[in-house]
Amino acid sequence: MHATDRWAGVAGDVEAVLGSPKFSDGSAWAAWSALSVSDETDGPAWSLLARTPDLAATIEVAHSLGWHVGERSVGGHETRVPLRSPNGLTVIAYTPTS
């Protein structure tokens, strides 16, 4: 995922190269098969997205491996938590809201 305060321009650039996104809300989020673009700038510019059916279990494993676990947040489409490995890899673990 690439997070940027220039969402519309960056999403337009990606669309010009990869074609129409699989999903877009038209103002803050667009997702293609290999890349997502977000307008959120409170985290790193680049991170991996990891969909999980059991967010609590994912958090537990991350803790056991010594990863930093950020605060859980609930958005319009998913519940997510930022995770950072001891080596600096940032992963946004999420599960869709029902």
Question: Do both 90 and 61 map to the same domain?
Answer: yes
Domain that holds residue 75: 47-98
CATH number, domain with residue 63: 3.10.180.10
User: The pTM is what?
Assistant: 0.78
Whether 98 shows a pLDDT value over 80: the answer reads: no
Question: Do both 98 and 77 map to the same domain?
Answer: yes
Question: Do both 97 and 80 map to the same domain?
Answer: yes
Question: Do both 98 and 52 map to the same domain?
Answer: yes
Give the total number of structural domains in the chain: 2
Question: Do both 2 and 17 map to the same domain?
Answer: yes
Question: Do both 51 and 86 map to the same domain?
Answer: yes
Question: Do both 69 and 92 map to the same domain?
Answer: yes
For residue range 39-80, list pLDDT tens digits in order.
988 888 889 989 999 999 999 999 999 999 999 999 888 999
What's the chain look like in SS3? CEECCCHHHHHHHHHHHHCCCCEECCCCEEECCCCEEECCCCCCCECEEEECCCHHHHHHHHHHCCCEECCCEECCCEEEEEEECCCCCEEEEEEECC
Look at residue 76 in the predicted model and tell me its pLDDT: 84
